[in-house]
Amino acid sequence: MNEGRPYIFDLDPAQLTALLSAWGMPAYRASQLLEWVYRHHVAEPARMTSFSHADRELLARQLVFTRAAVVRHQLATDGVQKLLLKWDAGEADHAVEGSSAALPVVEDSSRQSECVMIPSTDPRSTRRTACVSSQIGCPVGCRFCASGLGGLDGNLTSGQIVEQVWRLGGLPGVGRISHVVFMGMGEPLANFEQVVRAVRTLTAPWGCGISARHITISTVGLPAQIRRLAEVDLPITLAISLHAPNDELRRRLIPWAQFVSIQQLIDAGRHYFDRTGREVTLEYTLLRGVNDQPEHARELAGLAQQLRSHVNLIRYNEVKGLPYSRPDTADVRRFQAILRAAGVNTHIRASRGRDIAAACGQLRHEHAELAREAAQRP
- For the ranges 87-91, 340-344, 351-355, the lowest mean pLDDT is seen at 87-91
pLDDT of residue 1: 53
Q: What is the 3-state secondary structure (H, E, C) of the chain?
A: CCCCCCEHHHCCHHHHHHHHHHCCCCCHHHHHHHHHHHHCCCCCHHHCCCCCHHHHHHHHHHCECCCEEEEEEEECCCCCEEEEEEECCCCCCCEECCCCCCCCCCCCCCCEEEEEEEECCCCCCCCEEEECCCEEECCCCCCCCCCCCCCEEEECCHHHHHHHHHHHHCCCCCCCCCEEEECCCCCHHHHHHHHHHHHHHHHCCCCCCCCHHHEEEEECCCHHHHHHHCCCCCCCEEEEECCCCCHHHHHHHCHHHHHCCHHHHHHHHHHHHHHHCCCEEEEEEECCCCCCCHHHHHHHHHHHCCCCEEEEEEECCCCCCCCCCCCCHHHHHHHHHHHHHCCCCEEEECCCCHHHCCCCCHHHHHHHHHHHHHHHCC
The ranges assigned to domains in the chain are 8-62, 120-362
pLDDT of residue 352: 76
Architecture of domain 120-362: Alpha-Beta Barrel (3.20)
What topology is assigned to 8-62 in CATH?
DNA polymerase; domain 1 (1.10.150)
**Mean pLDDT of the 39-66 span:** 97
pLDDT digits (tens, 9 = 90+) for 132-170: 999 998 988 888 887 767 778 899 999 999 999 999 999
pTM for the predicted model, two decimal places: 0.89
pLDDT of residue 148: 67
Residue of higher predicted confidence among 335 and 99: 335
The mean pLDDT of the chain is 89
Residue of higher predicted confidence among 104 and 120: 120
Residue numbers annotated as active site:
114, 360
**Mean pLDDT of the 307-335 span:** 94
